[in-house]
């Protein structure tokens, strides 16, 4: 049991010393991840291969280059009990026979999060960030922890969090030019990642983020992404030739035998690594916020429609965009409240396109390209 994040993390780092580490610069968010398991660092290197690594060979050297978030990821088969007899807070969760995913305990200097299904434990404060448990069996949870540290860093700098995918177009090709970027939001299961990947079939576009974006008011308004590759379902993969490498032949045959309804209901997800699926395109992390596509369609709808809307008059659609930071976030000192009105204000000068009617990704792709000011190809 720990009573202080700082002291508890220090003790566990001493008990399980790191033997491998690697640092990345995610467009200003500089992070160093170290572990007692070299295989975990190798997995992170493969996952983050599209992004800039820090040239330093040690955390101490990396810290000389500026502010650095230090994460320890400790591999143990069974995580130590950080909670003791204290009661966890259990948040809202979707109905499931497996029960809730996580609980948490707040301490004076941070928070402990317990992943109830995998046994992973996370602890974080201002300068202390720890993942401990069966990390090698759950590398995605370590990756998500890295991304959540980046999200907290951005929100502490005044950003609003969006539940979006995003793609961008670098019109002039200048090294310092931010690409014109559109975000794609939609209620759960409406296909924001699928539409983003359909757009990536256009070689003029680059990927910016999957599932989470941080929005900054302008001028000009900016959008930041996180280094999270799309988690995509088999139906999306089967209908996009650029994603063919994600499935092996046995998987392809098995999923191709399913009906469209069966594919739609599947919860099996795969990582669509951008650099592997779209080798001539980039995974960017910043862009000029040039437009928002709000998906409000369904499989039972009629003809697909694209309409420019004023979100102040269509506030019922905003929950598709607004994302609460979740259990891996603690507000910074003096941080302003993120209200519906703050999103409306940010979107005041941003073109917003609603796609309604029946799901039609080809139609949606053409409408999104038009929003970016690009003729379809």
Q: How does DSSP classify residue 53?
A: B
Residue where one domain finishes, among candidates 140, 155, 170 = 155
Q: Distance (Å, rounded) from C-alpha 12 to C-alpha 76?
A: 11
Q: Does residue 244 sit within a domain? A: no
- Both 197 and 310 in one domain: the answer is yes
Q: Distance (Å, rounded) from C-alpha 311 to C-alpha 158?
A: 21
Average model confidence (pLDDT) for the chain? Answer: 93
The count of structural domains within the chain is 2
| Closest among 76, 73, 55, 78 to 19, alpha carbons compared | 73
Which structural domain range is residue 33 located in?
Answer: 5-155
- Both 166 and 280 in one domain: the answer is yes
Q: Distance (Å, rounded) from C-alpha 216 to C-alpha 203?
A: 27
Q: How many CB atoms lie under 10 A from the CB of residue 15?
A: 12
- Both 219 and 329 in one domain: the answer is yes
Q: Distance (Å, rounded) from C-alpha 189 to C-alpha 191?
A: 6
- What stretch of H or E contains 71? strand 69-75
- Both 324 and 280 in one domain: the answer is yes
Residue where one domain finishes, among candidates 130, 155, 180 = 155
Q: Does residue 258 sit within a domain? A: no
- Both 85 and 187 in one domain: the answer is no
pLDDT, tens digit, 9 for 90 and up, residues 93-136: 766 557 788 999 999 999 999 999 999 999 999 899 999 999 99
* Residue 294, domain CATH: 3.90.228.20
Say how many Å lie between the first and final Cα of the chain, rounded: 59
- What stretch of H or E contains 311? none
Q: Does residue 37 sit within a domain? A: yes
DSSP H helices, the chain, are 5-15, 38-47, 59-63, 139-155, 192-199, 234-238, 249-256, 260-265, 274-277, 340-346, 361-371
Q: Does residue 212 sit within a domain? A: yes
Per-residue pLDDT of the chain (377 residues; tens, 9 = 90+): 899 999 999 999 999 999 999 999 999 999 999 999 999 999 999 999 999 999 999 999 999 999 999 999 999 999 999 999 899 999 777 665 577 889 999 999 999 999 999 999 999 998 999 999 999 999 999 999 999 999 999 999 999 999 999 999 987 656 678 999 999 999 888 899 999 999 999 999 999 988 899 999 988 999 999 999 998 889 889 989 999 999 999 999 999 999 888 887 787 889 999 999 999 999 999 999 999 999 999 888 789 999 999 999 999 999 999 999 999 998 887 676 789 999 999 999 999 999 999 999 999 999 999 999 999 87
Question: pTM for the complete prediction?
Answer: 0.93
- Both 93 and 124 in one domain: the answer is yes
Q: Distance (Å, rounded) from C-alpha 206 to C-alpha 199?
A: 9
């Amino acid at each position: 049991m720990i009573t202080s994040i700082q002291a508890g993390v220090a003790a566990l780092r001493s008990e399980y010393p790191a033997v491998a580490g690697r640092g990345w610069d995610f467009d200003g968010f500089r992070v160093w991840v170290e572990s007692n398991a070299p295989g975990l660092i190798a997995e992170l290197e493969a996952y983050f291969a599209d992004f800039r690594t820090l040239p330093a060979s040690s955390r101490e050297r990396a810290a000389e280059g500026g502010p650095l978030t230090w994460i320890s990821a400790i591999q143990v088969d069974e995580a130590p009990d950080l909670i003791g007899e204290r009661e966890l807070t259990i948040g809202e969760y979707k109905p499931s026979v497996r029960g809730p995913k996580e609980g948490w305990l707040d301490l004076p200097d941070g928070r402990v999060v317990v992943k109830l299904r995998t046994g992973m434990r996370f602890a974080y404060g201002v300068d202390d960030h720890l993942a401990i448990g069966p990390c090698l069996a759950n590398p995605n949870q370590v990756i998500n922890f890295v991304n959540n540290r980046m999200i907290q860093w951005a929100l502490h700098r005044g950003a609003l969090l969006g539940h979006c995918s995003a793609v961008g177009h670098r019109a002039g090709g200048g090294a310092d030019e931010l690409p014109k970027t559109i975000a794609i939001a939609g209620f759960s299961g409406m296909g924001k990642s699928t539409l983003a990947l359909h757009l990536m079939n256009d070689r003029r576009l680059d990927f910016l983020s999957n599932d989470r974006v941080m929005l900054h008011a302008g001028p000009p308004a900016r959008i930041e992404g996180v280094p999270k590759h799309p988690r995509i379902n088999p139906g999306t993969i089967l209908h996009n030739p650029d994603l063919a490498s994600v499935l092996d032949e046995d998987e392809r045959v098995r999923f191709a035998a399913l009906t469209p309804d069966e594919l739609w209901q599947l919860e099996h997800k795969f990582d669509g690594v951008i650099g592997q699926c779209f080798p001539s395109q980039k995974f960017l992390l910043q862009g000029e916020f040039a437009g928002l596509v709000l998906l409000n369609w369904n499989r039972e709808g009629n003809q697909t429609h694209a309409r420019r809307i004023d979100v102040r008059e269509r506030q019922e659609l905003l929950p598709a965009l607004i994302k609460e930071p979740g259990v891996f976030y603690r507000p910074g000192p003096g941080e302003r409240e993120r209200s519906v009105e703050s999103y409306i204000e940010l979107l005041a000068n941003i073109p917003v396109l609603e796609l309604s009617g029946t799901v039609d990704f080809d139609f949606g792709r053409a409408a999104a390209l038009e929003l970016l000011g690009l003729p379809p190809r």
